[in-house]
C-alpha cells in the first residue's frame, strides 16, 4: 500500500464521521511487520472544543433520558461487539502486537464492563430515611456530572476505554474518547458499531490526537471528569493539570509488580502462571510480573524452571496460532528495553536468559524481543525500581517472607503484588500486610472482574475512585441530599 492510498482515520463528533483539519499525521504501524496501516490525525484543540460543545449540548437531554432507556443502547452495543468479536480481536493484534488469544481476552473484558454497566438502574440507587424529624424526610440521589473523557493508552486499545465509558453513559453523562495515537484502529471499529446504535448526536465522541488534544481535554471548562491509564510521569501531569482546573480525575500510573515464591508453592503451576504474567502481552501491561522474589529453598528450583519457560516461549506474529508472545509496540520501546537490560547487567545482575536481538524468521523488521531473565538483581539497583514495560523478569532471593514483604512495601509503586504458596497463614499475612491495590494469591495477573474496581496504590494511582464497578458509578455521579417537609394537612388534600 502506497502512502497516497493509506486510509486517513476520522474523528466522530456530534454523531458524524468527519476528517480532521489537522496539518500533521502519524503513521499507524503494525509492530510485527512494520507495515504502515493508516494515518491518524493529530487533531487540533479547536476540534476537541467542537466535540466538548456537542457533548455539552447533548447532556441536557441525555441526563433526562431514564436510566432504563439509556442501558438499552448498551445492551445493543454488547450484541454488536459479540457479532464483531473476532474482527475486533484481529485489529488489536494487528495494531498492538498481541497474540490473538490475548486480544480475545481483552475484548471479553471490554464486553464484561458493558454488561455490568447495564445494571446502572440498581447501581445508581440512592438512600432515603423517612421521618428524620416529625414530618421531615431525607434522601440522597445520584446525578450525572456532565461531559467526561478518557485518555487511553496503547497497550489495551479495546479494553481500557470500556473501564470507564459504559458507566459514564449509563449514569447519564456524555463522553469523549481520545485513543492512543499508536493504536487508533480498534476504536475506529468500535465507533462504527456505536454509530449503529442510534444514540442522540453528541452523546459520545471520538477525537484522535496527541499532546495538543490531551491538553485541550485537560483545560476545556465543559469537561468535568477525566480518566487516564499510562505511565506515572504522564499520570502525575494529567492529574495535576486537570485537578488544578477543578476536574474530577482518576489516573492509573506505572508499576513494578513483585511476585513472591515460597518453598511450598506448586512449582509447575507457579512457573506457568508467572511466565504468563511476566511475558504475556510482551510485558506491556500494568499488571505484568516484573520481579520474582524467591524465599528460602525456592531459589534453585524456581530459577531453573522459569529459565526453561522463558527459553521455550514461542515468539512471533500474534496472528499465527502457535505464537505465545508478540512484539513490543515501537522500535523505540525495544531499544529502551534493551538498554535497561544492559544497565541491569552493568549493575551486577546476571543475564540468565537474554532476549535481545532475536531472529524471528520472516519478521526481521518487527519490534521483537524474546523473554529475558536477570538473576541476582540487587534490590537497591535502578533496574529493580524502574518500570521496564517489556518481557523482562528480575530475580531476587531473600531468606524470609517478612523480608520479602518488606521489599514489596519499600517500592514506590503499589499496583499489584502476588504470593505463591500452599500456606493459608502465609496467604493471610501477605494479603493483610502487602501494600498494593490488587493482590494475587497463586494468581499471576490479579486483574479484577468488572464488578470490582481496578485498584492501585502509591505512585501507581492518582485519585480516589478507580475504574470499573461501583467505583465507576461513584466517579461519574455526584450526590444530592434532599431534606423535605410536608404538612400533615396536605396528606388529605384532594386535587
Kindly list the catalytic residues: 286
All 3 cell numbers of residue 427? 496467604
CA separation for the pair 49, 459 (Å, rounded): 31
C-alpha closest to that of 171 among 15, 63, 250: 63
Stated as kind and residue range, the H or E segment containing 27 is: strand 25-29
Quick count: other Cβ atoms within 10 Å of Cβ 336?
A: 15
Beta-bridge mates of residue 328: none
- Dihedral of the CA atoms 472, 70, 200, 149 (nearest 10)? 0
Q: Are 392 and 283 in contact (CB under 8 A)?
A: yes
Q: How far is CA 377 from CA 7, 345, 381, in A?
A: 47, 9, 7
Angle at Cα 207 formed by Cα 334 and Cα 472, nearest 5°?
85
Q: φ and ψ at 190, to 5 degrees? A: -55, -40
Kindly give the pairing relationship between strand 416-420 and strand 438-441: parallel
Q: Helices marked H in 43-198 — which ranges?
A: 45-62, 67-83, 85-96, 100-117, 120-123, 165-170, 185-194
All 3 cell numbers of residue 179? 485513543
Q: How far is CA 381 from CA 189, 205, 232, 348, 417, in A?
A: 44, 45, 19, 9, 19
Beta-bridge mates of residue 454: 467
Kindly give the pairing relationship between strand 136-144 and strand 477-485: antiparallel
Contacts (Cβ under 8 Å, ≥6 apart) of 35: 1, 29
Cβ-count burial of 232 within 10 angstroms (0-12 exposed, 13-18 middle, 19+ buried)? buried
Amino acid at each position: 500500500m502506497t502512502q497516497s492510498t493509506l486510509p486517513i482515520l476520522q474523528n466522530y463528533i456530534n454523531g458524524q464521521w468527519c476528517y480532521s483539519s489537522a496539518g500533521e499525521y502519524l503513521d499507524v504501524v503494525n509492530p510485527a511487520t512494520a507495515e504502515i496501516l493508516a494515518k491518524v490525525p493529530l487533531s487540533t484543540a479547536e476540534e476537541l472544543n467542537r466535540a466538548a460543545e456537542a457533548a455539552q449540548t447533548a447532556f441536557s437531554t441525555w441526563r433526562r433520558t431514564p436510566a432504563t432507556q439509556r442501558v438499552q443502547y448498551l445492551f445493543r452495543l454488547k450484541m454488536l461487539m459479540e457479532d464483531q468479536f473476532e474482527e475486533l480481536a484481529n485489529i488489536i493484534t494487528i495494531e498492538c502486537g498481541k497474540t490473538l488469544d490475548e486480544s480475545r481476552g481483552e475484548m471479553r473484558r471490554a464486553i464484561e464492563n458493558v454488561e455490568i454497566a447495564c445494571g446502572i438502574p440498581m447501581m445508581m440507587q440512592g438512600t432515603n430515611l423517612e421521618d428524620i424529624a416529625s414530618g421531615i424526610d431525607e434522601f440522597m440521589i445520584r446525578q450525572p456530572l456532565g461531559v467526561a473523557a478518557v485518555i487511553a493508552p496503547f497497550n489495551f486499545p479495546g479494553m481500557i476505554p470500556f473501564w470507564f465509558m459504559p458507566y459514564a453513559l449509563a449514569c447519564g453523562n456524555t463522553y469523549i474518547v481520545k485513543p492512543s495515537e499508536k493504536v487508533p484502529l480498534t476504536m475506529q471499529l468500535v465507533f462504527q458499531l456505536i454509530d449503529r446504535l442510534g444514540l442522540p448526536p453528541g452523546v459520545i465522541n471520538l477525537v484522535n490526537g496527541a499532546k495538543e488534544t490531551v491538553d485541550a481535554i485537560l483545560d476545556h471548562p465543559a469537561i468535568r471528569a477525566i480518566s487516564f491509564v499510562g505511565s506515572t510521569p504522564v499520570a502525575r501531569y494529567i492529574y495535576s493539570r486537570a485537578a488544578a482546573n477543578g476536574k474530577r480525575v482518576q489516573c492509573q500510573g506505572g508499576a513494578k509488580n513483585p511476585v513472591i515464591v515460597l518453598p511450598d508453592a506448586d512449582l509447575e503451576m507457579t512457573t506457568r502462571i508467572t511466565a504468563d504474567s511476566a511475558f504475556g502481552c510482551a510485558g506491556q501491561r500494568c499488571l505484568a510480573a516484573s520481579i520474582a522474589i524467591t524465599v528460602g529453598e525456592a531459589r534453585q528450583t524456581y530459577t531453573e524452571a522459569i529459565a526453561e519457560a522463558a527459553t521455550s516461549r514461542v515468539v512471533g506474529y500474534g496472528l499465527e496460532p502457535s505464537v505465545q508472545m508478540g512484539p513490543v509496540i515501537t522500535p523505540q520501546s525495544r531499544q529502551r528495553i534493551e538498554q535497561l537490560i544492559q544497565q541491569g547487567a552493568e549493575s551486577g545482575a546476571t543475564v540468565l536468559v537474554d532476549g535481545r536481538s532475536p531472529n524471528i524468521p520472516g519478521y526481521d523488521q518487527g519490534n521483537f524481543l524474546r523473554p529475558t531473565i536477570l538473576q541476582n538483581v540487587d534490590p537497591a539497583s535502578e533496574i529493580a525500581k524502574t518500570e521496564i514495560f517489556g518481557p523482562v523478569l528480575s530475580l531476587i532471593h531473600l531468606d524470609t517472607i517478612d523480608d520479602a514483604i518488606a521489599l514489596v512495601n519499600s517500592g514506590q509503586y503499589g499496583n499489584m503484588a502476588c504470593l505463591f504458596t500452599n500456606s493459608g497463614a502465609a496467604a493471610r499475612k501477605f494479603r493483610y500486610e502487602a501494600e498494593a491495590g490488587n493482590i494475587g494469591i497463586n494468581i499471576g495477573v490479579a486483574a479484577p472482574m468488572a464488578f470490582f474496581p481496578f485498584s492501585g496504590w502509591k505512585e501507581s494511582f492518582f485519585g480516589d475512585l478507580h475504574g470499573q464497578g461501583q467505583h465507576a458509578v461513584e466517579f461519574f455521579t455526584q450526590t444530592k441530599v434532599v431534606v423535605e417537609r410536608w404538612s400533615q394537612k396536605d396528606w388529605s388534600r384532594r386535587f
